[in-house]
Amino acid sequence: MVPREDIVLAVLGASAALAGLVLVFLGLVAAATASYSPGTAESIIAKARRPAYAVLGSFGLGIACVALCALWLLLSTESGPVFWIAIVLFFAQLFSLVVATVWAVKKALWE
């Protein structure tokens, strides 16, 4: 069986790497939203901003996962809710990244 410390370290590293990737992706989505001309209707700009909020939410989940993993390592607990919450947050981060990416690509390419 793999020690929990190794699992938490792996999740911490993967979550931090994904959060960095999401941050770059957020910059691309924000730049695309900001590229509309000044005369563009606010309703169109608001529709373009929605995927950015999903990407921002994914980034927030990643940062929360990193924080929980670090907290777990600092507390040195063998088990408990912090471990499981960190694992669940990691999978939520993965899921939200997929959803945000599909949404942003759909908006950019097909609408």
Q: How many domains does the chain have?
A: 1
- Higher-pLDDT residue of 105, 6: 6
**pLDDT at position 52, please?**
86
pTM of the model: 0.82
**Do 72 and 65 touch, CB atoms closer than 8 A?**
no
CA atoms of 38 and 22, how far apart (whole Å)? 27
Q: Is the pLDDT of residue 100 over 90?
A: no
- Give the type of residue at 32: A
* Higher-confidence position of 21 and 47: 21
Domain limits at 100? 4-110
